[in-house]
Amino acid sequence: MPTIEVAGKTIEVDEEGYLQNRTDWSEEIATAMAKEDDCDLTQNHWEVINFLREYYDEYQIAPAVRVLTKAIGKKLGPDKGNSKYLYELFPYGPAKQACKYAGLPKPTGCV
């Protein structure tokens, strides 16, 4: 099983880099995963990452990108609840990339 090293700890991930155990998650892990992708996490990134973690706690799934976009719009306003904004933050795909940093599984139906 693949692993990543963060702050001296070995953490199990799947073949695409998503955490095996959601409970392993920490902000340091998110930052380290982002660094791998040459992405510096800003307050705007964290807003989405934290939103996803809350969504997962409530519904036990990672939302599809359309659902995420709509829900972000509801919570953070229309200037953030649109694909342009979210793709600028997460160019590999907001659901896919942000879910990875948030320690969630890959969204259902995401190929």
Partner 1 sequence: MTDEMMEEGGAPGGVVKKFLYVNRKAPYGTIYALESLEVVLISAAFEQDVSLAFLDDGVYQIVKGQDTKSVGVKNFSPTYRALEGYDVEKLYVEKESLEARGLTEEDLIVPVQVISTEEIADLMESHDVILSF
Residue/partner pairs of 38-43 with CB below 8 Å, 24 or more apart: 39/90, 39/97, 41/101
> 5 in helix, strand or coil?
strand
Binding residue for partner 1, selected from 32, 71, 76, 93, defined by CB under 8 A: 71
Judged by beta carbon, residue 59 or residue 92, the one nearer partner 1 is 59
Binding flag, residue 75, partner 1 (CB under 8 A): no
Binding residue for partner 1, selected from 4, 39, 41, 67, defined by CB under 8 A: 67
Binding flag, residue 61, partner 1 (CB under 8 A): yes
Binding residue for partner 1, selected from 66, 78, 88, 92, defined by CB under 8 A: 66
**Nearest alpha-carbon partner for 87 in 97, 79, 99, 78:** 97
